[in-house]
Amino acid sequence: MREAQHFMIDHNTTGAIYLADNLDILRALPSGSVDLIYIDPPFNTGKHQQRVQLKTERSDDGDRVGFQGQRYKSIILGSRRFSDVFDDYLAFLEPRLVEAHRVLAPSGSFYFHVDYREVHYCKVLLDAIFGRESFLNEIIWAYDYGGRPKNRWPPKHDNILLYVKNLSRYVFNVDEIERIPYMAPGLVGPEKAARGKLPTDCWWHTIVPTNGAEKTGYPTQKPLGILRRIVQASSKPGSLVLDFFAGSGTTGIAALELGRRFILVDNNPEALAVMARRFDGVAGIRWVGFDPAPYQQQTTAPIIP
């Protein structure tokens, strides 16, 4: 794909967003051209993921009961849906991970976000592609929300595997990472307490709040705080960040916020519609295979067929 190659040499472009099969885009990108890759592929849960957006209004015959017994009716605003069912999950991932390794720069880092169902199998596959010596960390993103089954320990974490292309060259901006508070600030002195401490490989972070401004309604949307930390730590200003399972586009938002360029790829038109709204008014974005105009108010973005 000539468009993908053209983007790689265009440093005036903020980002490129593709509605496409990600394997096609990966194969078109030059080797060693991407500084940071983060992906959050479907977790192979065997389900069709769906998120329904609701709003409530006061109504005497409403279906919900709220504060002080007031009744409310639910109004469905819309829904987002994608399939998370694969006959052979690793066979689906392998060619994409091979291409990800190829396009990653010598100083690049690769973050692979998955959950407990598949992480062990994916780790073996990634070891074979990147080399076991290139495995740097397993990050645990822990959260606390939702139901609690009574027949097992409630699963409340995701796994993020971090690989680097070259152990002697990778980027880790320790001084740029947002610090967290000390639990006992009085024991470390005022200077350290004011600065905070470096996060470990266990990240406690809430999910995207249901009624928060960040919420898009897209299933499996990841918090901006998680992506912000990844981009801060493992890329430099002006670097190129790639997410080829882009979903709601949070990786691009973090890259934009921190002065990085980005490529986002997804094959779901509903994902591109969400991204069109999130990037409304942002200059310098190329939309490939998708027209964002019906979903935007401030921008008529150029289309590359």
Q: In terms of Cα–Cα distance, which of 81, 93, 100 is closest to 33?
A: 100
User: Which regions of the chain carry the CATH code 3.40.50.150?
Assistant: 2-46+85-304
Instruction: Quote the CA–CA distance of 211 and 227 in Å, as a whole number.
Output: 20
Place of tokens 């689906």: 92
* pTM of the predicted protein model: 0.82
Answer yes or no: are the C-beta atoms of 42 and 268 closer than 8 Å: no
pLDDT values of the chain reduced to their tens digit, one per residue, 305 residues: 544 544 554 667 899 999 999 999 999 999 999 999 999 998 665 544 344 444 456 677 765 554 455 655 554 444 444 344 456 888 999 999 999 999 999 999 999 999 998 899 999 999 999 999 999 999 999 988 778 889 999 989 999 999 999 999 999 999 999 999 998 888 888 999 999 999 999 999 887 665 656 665 566 678 899 999 999 999 999 999 999 999 999 999 999 999 999 999 999 999 999 999 999 999 999 999 999 999 999 755 555 55
Q: Are 261 and 280 in contact (CB under 8 A)?
A: no
What is the average pLDDT score of the chain? 84
Looking at 3.40.50.150, 3.40.50.620, 3.40.640.10, 3.40.1130.10, the CATH number of the domain 2-46+85-304 comes to 3.40.50.150
